């Protein structure tokens, strides 16, 4: 029981780790609870369970709160593990998995978590889905459940849908949804050119996206469940929704009805649009910052792309980034922003775009990536993780940066080039 209490304390200590104004990476305790994930001997669902086990092990590792052991200890699901053997293998937590598949295609994951030091089963939960191919979310929900049991900092973002656009052919791109590892994926908009998807709200029921299947580039809002579709606005040249306010009532739109792109605020309820930028050149990619009172955006008003900020209701513009001469693709969370910057030749003699994290309240700066082309960064809902697209040596991948742990992970997209992304 003392060891269980120690594990809980170690995990709780990281609950106070957050991205502060100095953007420091918080040092975590050196000792993490060691967990062994096992598949029950008496289950018939070995194939899918092996995939779940692998994903679940990655989830626990990526959380930063557990050390996943690569040892074997298989038992029947309703048998207790051998405590002496597991103790000798330095196992703190033992997770046993089983599954049941019904005749209609539904799939249930059965889980039992044992604390070896306390010599007790401490958590038993079942997770179900109506279709077996959605098994990745069963793995993610199990990891979240274990993490929550110990009151560790939330990893609920793992259960979120990721939405992205992939190029299929010349002038053709589909909108896809997936889990964050790209293991489960499904096309929700196909046919023609459909790009720049953006979730309309945190409940992930509707999206905004840009369609080139109309007379003009058109911003569309789509409910992905009932398929209801609304036209928001059209524009010559380009149009895209770049950000949504916290309450979902306002969106930022980049549009070019008069030739050069500017940023507009659009009220979903009144259907009124307000022009925020008025520069004669290029202003794009607006992001709400500082409680939705200001925006950060990309502009070429100094001759090359850079990151600027302004209040929504005033004309004054402030330069935010003084690093590099080519900065683009900005995302925000509260007072923090991440942007893509074109760097000098790397050790391979190649140009690269890397991601940098900074605060709008200070001049501190931290580089998050090291090679390739890294673009379209998106903060997680809690601001502690970052999603981005990485292209390196012709391979397009979804990347995850765990900001408080200074670690990153890549999930390659097979046979498809990702165009833009959101979660």
pLDDT in tens, 29-43: 458 999 999 999 999
The closest of 228, 207, 208, 206 to 217, measured between CA atoms, is 208
SS3 per-residue string spanning the chain: CHHHHHHHHHHHHHHHCCCCCCCCCCCCCCCCCEEEEEECCCCCCHHHHHHHHHHHHHHHHHHCCCEECCCCCCCCCCCCCCHHHHHHCCCCEEEEEEEEECCCCCEEEEEEEEECCCCEEEEEEEEEECCHHHHHHHHHHHHHHHHHHCCCCCCHHHHCCEEEEEEEECCEEEEEEECCCCCCEEEEECCCEEEEEEECCCCCCEEEEEECCCCCCEEEEEECCCCCEEEEEECCCCEEEEEECCCCCEEEEEECCCCCCEEEEEECCCCCEEECCCCCCCEEEEEEECCCCEEEEEECCCCCCEEEEEECCCCCCEECCCCCCCEEEEEEECCEEEEEEEECCCCCCCCEEEEEEEECCCCCEEECCCCCEEEEEEECCCCCEEEEEEEECCEEEEEEEECCCCEEEEEECCCCEEEEEEC
Distance between CA atoms of residues 49 and 142, nearest Å: 13
User: What pLDDT shows up at residue 255?
Assistant: 95
The answer to whether 331 touches 338, Cβ cutoff 8 Å, is: yes
User: What pLDDT shows up at residue 169?
Assistant: 85
The closest of 123, 122, 120 to 110, measured between CA atoms, is 123
User: What pLDDT shows up at residue 253?
Assistant: 97
The closest of 417, 411, 416 to 55, measured between CA atoms, is 411
User: What pLDDT shows up at residue 365?
Assistant: 87
Residues β-bridged to residue 95? 37, 113
What the chain holds in terms of domains, given with CATH numbers, is 2-156 (3.40.50.10070), 160-422 (2.120.10.30)
The answer to whether 295 touches 309, Cβ cutoff 8 Å, is: yes
Region at 62 (left for phi over 0; alpha for psi -120 to 50; beta for the rest): alpha
- This prediction has a pTM of 0.87
User: What pLDDT shows up at residue 6?
Assistant: 40
For helices 46-63 and 135-149, what crossing angle results, to 10°?
40
- Work out the burial of residue 384: count CB atoms within 10 Å of its CB; fewer than 13 is exposed, 13-18 middle, 19 or more buried: buried
pLDDT in tens, 321-340: 888 888 888 998 988 899 99
User: What pLDDT shows up at residue 346?
Assistant: 53
- Residue ranges in the chain whose pLDDT is less than 70: 1-30, 344-350
Distance between CA atoms of residues 383 and 286, nearest Å: 18
CA 116 distance to own-chain centroid: 33
């Amino acid at each position: 029981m003392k060891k269980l209490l120690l594990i809980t304390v170690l995990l709780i200590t990281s609950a106070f780790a957050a991205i502060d104004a100095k953007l420091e990476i918080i040092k975590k305790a050196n000792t993490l609870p060691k967990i062994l994930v096992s598949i029950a001997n008496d289950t018939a669902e070995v194939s899918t369970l092996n995939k779940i086990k692998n994903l679940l092990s990655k989830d626990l590792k990526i959380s930063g709160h557990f050390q996943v052991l690569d040892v074997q200890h298989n038992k029947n699901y309703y048998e207790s593990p051998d405590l002496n053997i597991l103790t000798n293998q330095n196992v703190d937590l033992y997770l046993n998995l089983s599954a049941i598949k019904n005749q209609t295609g539904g799939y249930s994951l059965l889980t039992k978590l044992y604390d070896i030091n306390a010599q007790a089963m401490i958590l038993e939960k079942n997770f179900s889905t109506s279709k077996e191919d959605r098994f990745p979310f069963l793995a993610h929900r199990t990891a979240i459940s274990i993490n929550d049991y110990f009151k560790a900092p939330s990893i609920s973002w793992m259960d979120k849908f990721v939405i992205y656009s992939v190029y299929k052919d010349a002038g053709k791109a589909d909108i896809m949804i997936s889990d964050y590892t790209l293991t489960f994926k499904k096309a929700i908009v196909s046919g023609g050119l459909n790009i720049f998807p953006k979730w309309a709200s945190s409940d992930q029921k509707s999206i905004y996206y840009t369609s080139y299947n109309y007379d003009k580039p058109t911003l569309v809002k789509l409910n992905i469940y009932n398929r209801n579709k609304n036209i928001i606005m059209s524009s010559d040249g380009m149009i895209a929704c770049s950000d949504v306010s916290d309450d979902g009532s306002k969106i930022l739109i980049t549009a070019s009805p008069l030739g050069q792109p500017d940023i507009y605020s659009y009220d979903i309820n009144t259907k009124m649009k307000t022009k925020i930028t008025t520069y004669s050149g290029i202003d794009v990619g607006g992001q709400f910052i500082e409680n939705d009172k200001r925006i950060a955006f990309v502009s070429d008003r100094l001759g090359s792309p850079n990151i600027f900020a302004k209040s929504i209701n005033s004309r004054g513009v402030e330069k935010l980034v003084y690093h590099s001469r080519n900065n683009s693709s900005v995302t925000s969370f509260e007072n923090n922003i991440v942007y893509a910057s074109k760097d000098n030749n790397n050790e391979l003699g190649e140009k690269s775009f890397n991601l940098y994290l900074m605060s709008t309240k200070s001049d501190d700066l931290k580089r998050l990536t090291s090679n390739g082309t890294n673009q379209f960064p998106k903060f997680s809902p809690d601001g502690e993780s970052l999603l981005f697209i990485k292209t390196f040596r012709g391979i397009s991948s979804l990347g995850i940066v765990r900001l408080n742990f200074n670690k990153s992970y890549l999930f390659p997209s097979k046979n498809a080039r990702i165009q833009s992304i959101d979660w």
